[in-house]
């Protein structure tokens, strides 16, 4: 896994051993950031279920002003720290070693995000729970883009009822990215 573009371009990132995380492949990461790259400069980026931090680090490398990494696995959090130090992006990052739902509560009223990315464990329906909890906070508004990485089979027929609008969907071989915005 490497940083695709920006100030940390081509640097190899560490990942943790085992199946505790599932890093987004370089090809999928490149496709994702090609779609959002024009809005990266100075944005505030929230990376939920961060794993080794590859997505948030890519955002910082491409010009994000600040990125928050939320990861409750201690080994993964340590890996994020190492990757941030290696890429020299530590000063632009906040690591929250806690559960996603606890982090959302802690961030409520303190930060508004331009992008919220989540890549929860597949097929456990955590996406719906997190989207419900985001709606209970003030971390997102009608300008925030929420990107969900999920298995291809994951259904999102409930998002309208939760107050979200699907603005784009990108399908890959085994997974997909769903782009959402909050409805007014």
Cα 154–Cα 52–Cα 60 angle in degrees, nearest 5? 95
Any residues with CB less than 8 A from the CB of 181 and at least 6 apart, and which? 142, 143, 144, 145, 146, 164, 165, 167
**In whole angstroms, what is the distance from residue 18 CA to residue 5 CA?**
27
**In whole angstroms, what is the distance from residue 52 CA to residue 63 CA?**
19
Residue 6: alpha-carbon gap to chain centroid: 18
**In whole angstroms, what is the distance from residue 30 CA to residue 82 CA?**
22
What is the CATH class of 40-182?
A: alpha beta
Per-domain boundaries in the chain: 40-182
What is the structure's pLDDT at 122? Answer: 87
What is the structure's pLDDT at 20? Answer: 57
What is the structure's pLDDT at 1? Answer: 83
Low-confidence ranges of the chain (pLDDT < 70): 18-22, 184
What is the structure's pLDDT at 12? Answer: 85
Any residues with CB less than 8 A from the CB of 17 and at least 6 apart, and which? none
What is the structure's pLDDT at 22? Answer: 67
What is the structure's pLDDT at 21? Answer: 62
154: left (phi over 0), alpha (psi -120 to 50) or beta: beta
| Cβ-based neighbour number of residue 34 at 10 Å | 11
How many residues would you count in the chain?
A: 184
pLDDT tens string 109-161: 999 999 999 999 988 889 999 999 999 999 999 999 999 999 999 999 999 99
- Per DSSP, the chain holds a count of helices (H) and strands (E) of 6, 7
């Amino acid at each position: 896994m490497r940083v695709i573009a920006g100030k940390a371009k081509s640097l190899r990132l560490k990942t943790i051993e085992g199946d505790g995380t599932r890093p987004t492949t370089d090809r999928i990461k490149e496709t994702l950031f090609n779609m959002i790259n024009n809005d990266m400069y100075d944005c505030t980026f929230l990376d939920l279920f961060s794993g080794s931090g590859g997505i948030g680090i890519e955002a910082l490398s491409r010009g994000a002003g600040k990125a928050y990494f939320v990861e409750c696995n201690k080994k993964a959090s340590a890996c994020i720290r190492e990757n941030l130090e290696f890429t020299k992006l530590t000063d632009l990052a906040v690591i929250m070693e806690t559960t996603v739902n606890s982090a959302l509560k802690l961030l409520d009223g303190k930060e508004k995000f331009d992008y919220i990315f989540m890549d929860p464990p597949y097929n456990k329906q955590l996406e719906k729970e997190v989207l419900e909890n985001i709606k209970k906070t003030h971390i997102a508004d009608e300008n925030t883009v929420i990107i969900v990485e999920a298995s291809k089979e994951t259904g999102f027929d409930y998002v309208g009822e939760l107050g979200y609008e699907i603005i784009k969907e990108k399908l890959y071989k085994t997974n997909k990215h769903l782009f959402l915005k909050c409805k007014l």
